[in-house]
Amino acid sequence: MSGSSTPRVLLTGFEPFGGESVNPSWQAAEAVAATPPPGLSVTAVQLPCVFGESLTALRSAVAEVEPDLVVCLGLAPGRPGITPERVAINVDDARIPDNAGAQPIDVPVVPGGPAAYFSTLPVKACVAAIREAGVPAALSNTAGTFVCNHIAYGLGHLIATELPHIRGGFVHVPWAAGQVTDGTTASLPTETVAKGIRALLLAAASTHDDLRVTEGATH
C-alpha cells in the first residue's frame, strides 16, 4: 500500500445475533476506530447478521469509504484468540436462522462464482503481528458457512471482480470477557482484541509479500 495520503481502512463488525445483547466483533471495530493505529484512517461500520442484506451493506460501505483495505470481523464462539481466515467458500449452509429468520441450506453465496476465494490479506504476517502485540492468534482455514463466511466470500468476489486494487479479508474474534460465565469457554477483553486488530491492520497495510512460515493444520 503506497501513496502520500493516509491509507483508508474499512473495518466492519456484526450486530448481535443468537440472542446475545452485544457482538464482540462490533465492540472491537468501534474501539479500533475510536483509537486507530498510527498512520491509518479507520472507519467502522456495523453489518446486519442477515444473509444478502449484509453484503448489500458491505458494498454500500465500500462505495462510501473508498478504502484501500477492508477487514471484516465476526464472532467465533469458543476460539481462544484472533483468527484471520485464509479462505471463504461459496456456500450458505446455516445451522441457525439469521436475524431475519432465513436459514439457507446449500445455497451458493454467488451463483456461478468460483468454489472459494483466498484472503488477499497477508494472513501469516497478520497472525505474527497479533502475537507480537501479546494477543493470542492463529491462522484459520474455515470461516464456517454462516453469515461470516457469506461476508468473507462476498468480499472476495467484490475484490476479484470489481476492486482488484484493494486488499481485504475476514477475521474471527473470540467471545468478549463477561459474555461467558462458565469459567472454561475462551474469551478476551475487548481492548485486548482491539490491540490485536490494530497490529493486524498495520501489518496488512505495510506487508506486500506474506511470511513463508508454517501455519498449517492437520484437521
CA 46 to CA 130: how far, in whole Å?
23
- Cite the active site residues: 85, 148, 172
Q: Hey, what's the cell of 7?
A: 491509507
Q: Hey, what's the cell of 69?
A: 483495505
- In angstroms and rounded to an integer, the radius of gyration of the C-alpha atoms of the chain is 16
Strand partners, 7: none
Distances (CA, A) of 69 to 18, 80, 93, 105, 202: 29, 25, 28, 31, 11
CA 44 to CA 167: how far, in whole Å?
16
